[in-house]
């Protein structure tokens, strides 16, 4: 074997080390633990992946432009609380708006996504027009959204949802949860945007070199606003989905989800240095995280220790991504 081919194989094994180790762990868990390789466990894992995939697809656009979005977790909780107060039963003793009839769930989804999208566009405006670094802009929005949500709900947990809302999580079509179908639809729409629209091409151009993109006529500022607006709308949708799954919501819902989503994107191949990443990258990354969690649970690892394992995976994933960037330079 010549040196070039050997180096290619070595680079492939190193760059995809996390994914390879995950598959080995899953295979080992399947051999040693009962009921791991079952359709029920697979569907349950896919259902847990659904909302997280929607979040990762939203954050992927930000990361492709060499940005990030630290407000995602709080935006998820905000979206879930908005949906919650609009979809409580009339006979629920802790109803937020006692005299208001529950709204149509499709209208509620639209309201949640529009409200979250407005806040996302504000973040995008500060990043695009005032050159505020994405880390700082989204950190500020994270605190603003938390404060608004705590004032809005008075930090009170919500519950007592109408069955039409909880059925979003419990209902099935062709034997598959509605949550999974929502994630598939969002992934398909995102793939179309990334690959078949000018917006997608602009996004990759900005991630590769924003100055060159602007010189080439790319509307950099408007594209950035749309990216953060679109991402926030996805966080709102994910909050709606998680609220239905949990049967309740609070300001704490979604806490820390943004970090896991960024790490999932990176594991799958979305580069934190910008310009690279696909929808499949987010799917692979989210799958790695969910399968890792499930495998560790089946192997009997302490629930608190699982956070350490996830942290190690994040460290390795980011390090490998930076390694690829340095190698290209």
| pLDDT tens digits along 283-317 | 988 988 888 888 888 887 787 887 787 788 777 77
Asked, for residue 19, whether it belongs to a domain, the answer is no
Q: Which residue has the tokens 């259902």?
A: 47
Q: Rounded to whole angstroms, how far apart are CA atoms 137 and 119? A: 11
Q: Is residue 16 in a domain?
A: no
Dist. CA 77–CA 56, nearest whole Å: 16
Q: Within a domain: residue 18?
A: no
Across 77-86, 96-105, 151-160, the highest mean pLDDT is recorded for 77-86
Whether 99 is covered by a domain: the verdict is yes
Name which of 17-31, 164-178, 194-208 the model is least confident about. Answer: 17-31
Domain membership of residue 13 (yes or no) is no
Establish how many alpha carbons lie within 13 A of residue 179's alpha carbon, considering only the half-sphere containing its beta carbon.
26
Instruction: Please say whether the beta carbons of 87 and 102 come within 8 A.
Output: yes
Residue 184 belongs to domain with CATH number: 1.10.3470
- Considering the domain boundaries, does residue 235 fall inside one? yes
Tell me which residue range forms the domain holding 215.
25-328
Residue 240, in any domain of the structure: yes
The span from the CA of 229 to the CA of 27, in Å, is 40
Would 5 be classed as within a structural domain? Answer: no
Q: How many domains does the chain have?
A: 1
Whole-number Å distance between alpha carbons of 102 and 91: 11
pLDDT tens sequence across 311-329 = 887 777 777 766 665 655 5
If you search the block for the tokens 């566009």, which residue do you land on? 121
């Amino acid at each position: 074997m010549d040196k070039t081919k050997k180096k290619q194989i070595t680079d492939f094994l190193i760059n995809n080390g996390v994914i390879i180790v995950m598959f080995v762990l899953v295979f080992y868990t399947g051999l040693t633990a009962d009921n791991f390789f079952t359709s029920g466990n697979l569907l349950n894992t896919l259902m847990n992946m659904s909302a997280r995939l929607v979040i990762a697809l939203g954050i992927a656009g930000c990361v492709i432009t060499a940005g990030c979005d630290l407000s995602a977790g709080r935006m998820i909780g905000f979206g879930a609380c908005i949906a919650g107060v609009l979809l409580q039963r009339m006979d629920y003793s802790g109803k937020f708006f006692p005299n208001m009839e529950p709204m149509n769930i499709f209208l509620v989804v639209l309201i949640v996504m529009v409200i979250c999208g407005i806040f996302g566009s504000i973040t995008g405006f500060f990043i695009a027009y005032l050159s505020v670094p994405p880390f700082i802009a989204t950190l500020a929005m994270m605190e603003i959204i938390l404060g608004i949500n705590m004032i809005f709900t008075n930090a009170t947990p919500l519950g007592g949802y109408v069955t039409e809302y909880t059925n979003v999580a419990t209902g099935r079509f062709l034997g598959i949860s509605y949550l999974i179908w929502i994630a598939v639809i969002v992934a398909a729409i995102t793939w179309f945007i990334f690959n078949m629209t000018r917006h997608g091409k602009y996004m990759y151009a900005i991630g590769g070199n924003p100055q060159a993109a602007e010189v080439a006529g790319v509307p950099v500022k408007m594209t950035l606003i749309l990216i953060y607006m679109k991402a926030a709308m996805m966080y709102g949708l994910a909050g709606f989905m998680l609220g239905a799954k949990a049967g309740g919501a609070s300001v704490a819902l979604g806490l820390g989800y943004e970090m896991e989503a960024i790490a999932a994107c990176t594991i799958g191949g979305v580069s934190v240095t910008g310009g690279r990443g696909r929808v499949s990258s987010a799917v692979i990354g989210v799958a790695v995280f969910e399968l890792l969690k499930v495998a560790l649970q089946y192997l009997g690892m302490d629930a608190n220790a699982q956070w350490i394992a996830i942290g190690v995976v994040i460290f390795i994933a980011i390090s490998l991504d930076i390694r690829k960037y340095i190698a290209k330079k």
